[in-house]
Amino acid sequence: MTSIPNRLKNSAVEFYPGVILAVVLAGIAQLIAIFIGGPVMLLALLIGMAVNRLGRQPRLAPGLKFSSKAILKFGVALLGARIGAEQIAALGVAPLVLVTIGVVTTILFGALLGRWIGLGSERGVLTGGATAICGASAALAISAALPDREWKERETAFTVVTVTTLSTLAMVLYPVISGLLGFNDHEAGIFLGGSIHDVAQVVGAGYTVSETAGEAATLTKLFRVALLAPVVLAVAFIFRERAETKGLKGLAPPPMLIGFIILAVLNSLGLLPQPFVLAATYLSTVCLATAVAAIGARTVLADLRELGWKPMVLMVSETVYICLVLLIGVLLL
């Protein structure tokens, strides 16, 4: 019988080549983002896809799979350190209700539209969650909570690319829309923070309008990020495979979600020192970039082309939907 230390040693030997490759690819993406500019997650994915031949090497495959699953879940758990109740309460009740309606109905819209066009509700929830909550990070978290499917990694990679592209377009167009509609700085911030996909693009769009709009947009976006925990929990419960739902195991929330909630609660209570919050936030970005790079290295471009036009129609429709919900809501506030 193999001892526990020997099993750990064997696992480390099996995983480390692929993990090191994923970390190196994520580091390259981070350097490019710092010195040249661009979204880290998208850069990590594209760099990973550029070396996808390496991802098919038997020696690297186990570590890349470990990076795309275990390291991903650890990074999602660390996202909780970014959330604080005090930040969210500063927005007021009406904007929080509006954003909640936008997030929930966008995911439901995605599930229904995905089923209607033949992609299935699971894919609709994946893309709808990415659109409604926080872009690439939400896509990775929801993907980790969904049951394993043959299409899941391809669809996740496609979602990360598409949601980042749409978010960048929104960053340019939405401030113009808010100006044409005569929104004041606070209203513009709520609209931008409630409708643009990724955090970085929300910040960019908000502070393009004004400092007040930037602060309101950032706080609104943080509330959307806070909704990631209940959404992931709901996805894990609803889409858990039948084999897993027999007995108590199927009812237990994923460990990554427990970690997320614990960190969010501790941060809300002021029990997390600021250096820890900064370190956790940075480590979360590193873990997620590593996971995305691994997903890219395991993704074949031909597989993405096989997805066809339906996923693109789905994501564009979800983007237009949440934009309209926030526009109408802000006009009625």
CA torsion, ordered 136, 137, 143, 146, to nearest 10 deg: -140
Output the pLDDT for position 190.
92
* Whether this model's pTM surpasses 0.75: no
Query: What value does the mean pLDDT of the chain take?
Result: 80
Report in angstroms the alpha-carbon separations of 315 from 113, 166, 190, 301, 310: 10, 9, 22, 19, 9
How many angstroms separate the CA atoms of 50 and 69, rounded? 20
Buried b (16+ CB within 10 A) or exposed e, 147-183: eebebbbbbbbbbbbbbbebbbebbeebbebbeeeeb
- 56 φ/ψ angles, rounded to the nearest 5 degrees: -95, 0
Match 């237009």 to its residue by tokens.
320
DSSP state of 254: P
Low-confidence ranges of the chain (pLDDT < 50): 1, 4, 8, 242-251
Torsion of CA 94, 97, 99, 100, to 10 degrees: 170
Measured distance CA(246)–CA(263) in Å, rounded = 29
Q: What is the pLDDT of residue 5?
A: 54
How distant is the alpha carbon of residue 71 from its chain centre? Answer: 14
Q: Could you state, in order of their start, the residue ranges of all structural domains in the chain? A: 16-332
Q: Which residues fall within 8 angstroms of residue 41, CB to CB, at 6 or more apart?
A: 135, 136, 137, 160, 164, 198, 288, 289, 292
Give dist(CA 325, CA 315) in Å, integer: 15
Q: How distant is the alpha carbon of residue 137 from its chain centre?
A: 2
